[in-house]
Amino acid sequence: MKNLSKTIVLLTSLGFGCAANAELRINGFANLVGGITSSDDTLYGYDDKISFSEDSLFAIQLSGDINDKMTATGQIVARGSEDYDPEFEWAYITYQATDNVSISAGRLRIPLFRYSSSLDVGYSYHWISPPQSVYDVTFNNLDGLRVDYSNYAGDWEYNIQLAAGTYENTTDVYKIEGRDTVALTAEAAYEFFKVRAVYGRAKTSIDVFGLEGAFAAFEQVLPTKLYNDLEAVDDTGVFLGLGLEYDTFDWFVSGEITSVDTEKSYIKEDIAYFLTAGLRIGKFTPSITYEVKESDDGVKFTDQISQLPAALQAQVIGVQAAFDDDEQAVTLGLRYDYATNVALKAEVTRYTDDLYENSDANLLRFAVNYIF
């Protein structure tokens, strides 16, 4: 928190220093989220002792006009899960080429999902956090370029985004890198209806720290072709997504489905989707969300694996199965708009895992989301 305080003071000083030359806009948002599971369950980082760190965050966004065509934007986020150490998540410059075309360069959000641009802004959606099965991907930010084009076709409003660059993310479990990343998103809206589609691909390298020993052994005993096929190094990863939404302002229903696949590697294709519906009754928004994440249940490279000794076959198949998913969750939620910039929320989630029944869990979360 001390680092966060220093950052806020620095940004405030910067705002006063720049005010004479240009208008510096400072906005922010925060999520205070608490959660607890039933009995000895663990889910999404929560356990049977109440925690306020997993999903809580505080963020400041700065933007300023460089000239009448260019703006600069930066976003600093301090997450409770990272001891509130502030980090620049966005830092980019935007050039407004025409009324319909803008070009952004720097570190920015990859437009993979309906709520990608406001992923951390809990106030912007009815959940406490978007469905984990779909939104919990290993990559969200991109160092590169993004071109946005928006226009009308009859009564339809549409937007096309093309992003290109590189990404990198390191956690306690893995390190992932993406080169030659390209993501193309198209979104169209007509009255109450909205549809979006996305295609992305990258040269992907994934290093799972817990599997380093297994792959070191495989390199010594597996045929070269099979080893290279299993290893996730500079392999083409493909992301596909489709979203539909119908929102009358009194009630809404929406869903997204995604596919993530790195074909030439030990990692299997993941299919994830969610459906959500809710009502807006005055200041209250009750909702229900159903989500699923499933991995391809087949074995990759079966022709090559079948030539191996039985014990080695089992080891290779075991590595492929290490990250299999077959899980579902149902969430009942309630949002209350306390003020024009403050929302109070509560959710109960029932999570089931068909592969690991001991992972089944119940989770209660509550949140205060606000913007300023």
The pLDDT value recorded for residue 2 is: 53
Q: Rounded CA gap, 320 and 304, in Å?
A: 14
Residues with Cβ within 8 Å of residue 162, at least 6 apart in sequence: 146, 147, 182, 183, 184, 185
The pLDDT value recorded for residue 3 is: 56
Name the token pair of 351. 């999570």
Average pLDDT over residues 205-224: 93
The pLDDT value recorded for residue 21 is: 52
Name the residue among 344, 345, 348 with its Cα closest to residue 331: 348
Question: Hunting for tokens 């500079």 — which residue is that?
Answer: 234
Q: Residues 300, 320: contact at Cβ < 8 Å?
A: yes
Beta strand segments in the chain, E: 24-37, 57-65, 70-79, 86-96, 101-109, 141-153, 156-170, 174-190, 193-208, 235-247, 251-262, 270-279, 284-295, 326-339, 342-353, 361-371
Task: Classify residue 249 as left (phi > 0), alpha (psi -120 to 50) or beta.
Answer: left
Name the residue among 372, 236, 223 with its Cα closest to residue 306: 223
Q: Residue 357's pLDDT band (boundaries 50, 70, 90)?
A: confident
The pLDDT value recorded for residue 5 is: 52
214, part of any domain = yes
Residue 173: give its domain's CATH number. Answer: 2.40.160.10
The pLDDT value recorded for residue 14 is: 43
Residue 323 has pLDDT above 90, yes or no: no
Q: Using one digit for the tens of pLDDT, what is the confidence trace for 160-188? A: 999 999 999 998 889 999 999 999 999 99
231, part of any domain = yes
Average pLDDT over residues 223-252: 96
Average pLDDT over residues 274-292: 99
Question: Hunting for tokens 């495989």 — which residue is that?
Answer: 218
The pLDDT value recorded for residue 140 is: 87
- How long, in residues, is the chain? 372
Q: At what angle do helices 212-221 and 310-321 cross, to 10 degrees?
A: 140
256, part of any domain = yes
323, part of any domain = yes
48, part of any domain = no
The pLDDT value recorded for residue 39 is: 80
How many structural domains compose the chain? 1
Question: Hunting for tokens 């208008």 — which residue is that?
Answer: 23
Buried b (16+ CB within 10 A) or exposed e, 232-260: beebebebebebbbebeeeebebbbbbeb
Q: Residue 356's pLDDT band (boundaries 50, 70, 90)?
A: confident
Mean pLDDT, the chain, as a whole number?
Answer: 93
Residue 197 has pLDDT above 70, yes or no: yes
Q: Where are the alpha helices (DSSP H) in the chain?
A: 2-18, 132-135, 212-221, 224-230, 302-305, 310-321
The pLDDT value recorded for residue 10 is: 47
Residue 20 has pLDDT above 50, yes or no: no
DSSP secondary structure letter of residue 19 = T
Residue 358 has pLDDT above 50, yes or no: yes
Name the residue among 161, 165, 203, 200 with its Cα closest to residue 183: 200
Q: Rounded CA gap, 294 and 290, in Å?
A: 14
Domain that holds residue 157: 92-371
65, part of any domain = no
pLDDT > 90 in the chain, percent: 85
Name the token pair of 32. 């205070």
Question: Hunting for tokens 């030439």 — which residue is that?
Answer: 264
The pLDDT value recorded for residue 6 is: 52
5, part of any domain = no
Its pTM stands at 0.90
Q: Residue 22's pLDDT band (boundaries 50, 70, 90)?
A: low
Phi, psi at residue 32, to the nearest 5°?
-105, 110
The pLDDT value recorded for residue 234 is: 94
Name the residue among 288, 287, 283 with its Cα closest to residue 342: 283
295, part of any domain = yes
